[in-house]
Amino acid sequence: MTIVRAAAHLHSDWSYDATWPLPRLAETLARRGYRVALMTEHDRGFSPERLSEFRAACAAASSARILVVPGIEYSDAQNLVHILTWGDVPFLGEGTPTLDTLTRVREAGGVSVMAHPSRKNAWREVTPAWAERLTAIELWNRKSDGWAPSRDAARLASEHRLPVFAGLDFHRRRQLWPLSVDIEIEGPVSETSVIAGLRSRRWEAKAWGAPAWWFASGAIGGAARAAEWARRTAARNLRRAIGRPA
């Protein structure tokens, strides 16, 4: 068994709202000590043909230092619930109902993680039928949650007894943050071994090398939430000072 450090929930210029080319992102992550990049391009603008092209681009961007694993982030028709997916899953289309997405990913032997449950209070939409098909809940999303994990996600994961994930939700440099998913794999580092490790739930979400759960409660959690409150307050005051909407 080998433990590989993965960066998860990543967008490149294959997504409509991100700009970094895959090779640049892969090289940056490799320099930061990641062995695997779990990509999750938005479903918007994709098609079966584009997914095939994207898979080839991920293979081309991979190297001996880092494996780039293709994946899609599916959104429902309301753009409320987002599901991160990896594995040999055919393209499911845009605006697919969440239960259909989860069912079809599971049938294909893939992996599905609910992204940023606190965004637009998406956690309220979760049903037992969803939970039994999910692989994990994203406890900490750097873009949506900032410097502290989501308490909504922590409650949701505990209620449904699901493991937790940590994702950068990378679109631009400021989302680079010491979050990782440390995956236990068998054999060489490959898409197959990584997906098998994810599907078997053999991983641990980390922040600064420590279990991400540590930052969700207790004194450490309180300190993280205080830092996030200070960050948001400073950002809001700066936007007001320069005349941008708060």
pLDDT tens sequence across 109-122: 999 999 999 999 99
Confidence of residue 244 (pLDDT cuts 50, 70, 90): low
Distance from C-alpha of 97 to C-alpha of 18, rounded to nearest angstrom:
24
Tell me the per-residue pLDDT of 169-215, one tens digit each, with 9 for 90 and over.
Answer: 999 999 999 999 999 999 999 999 999 999 999 999 999 999 999 99
Superfamily of domain 2-214 in CATH is Metal-dependent hydrolases (3.20.20.140)
**Token digits for 187?**
């054999």
Whole-number pLDDT of residue 245: 63
Q: 23-31 contacts: CB < 8 A, separation 24 or more? A: 23/60, 23/61, 25/61, 25/170, 26/61, 26/62, 26/63, 26/66, 26/68, 27/66, 28/176, 29/66, 30/63, 30/65, 30/66
How wide is the angle at C-alpha 179 spanned by C-alphas 157 and 134, nearest 5°? 30
Whole-number pLDDT of residue 66: 98
**Does residue 11 carry a pLDDT above 60?**
yes
Q: Are strands 71-75 and 41-42 parallel, antiparallel or unpaired?
A: parallel
Distance from C-alpha of 112 to C-alpha of 109, rounded to nearest angstrom:
10
Candidates 8, 20, 27; CA nearest to 178 is 8
Task: Domain ranges for the chain, please list them.
Answer: 2-214
For the whole model, what pTM was predicted?
0.95
Candidates 119, 138, 38; CA nearest to 76 is 119
**Does residue 234 carry a pLDDT above 80?**
yes
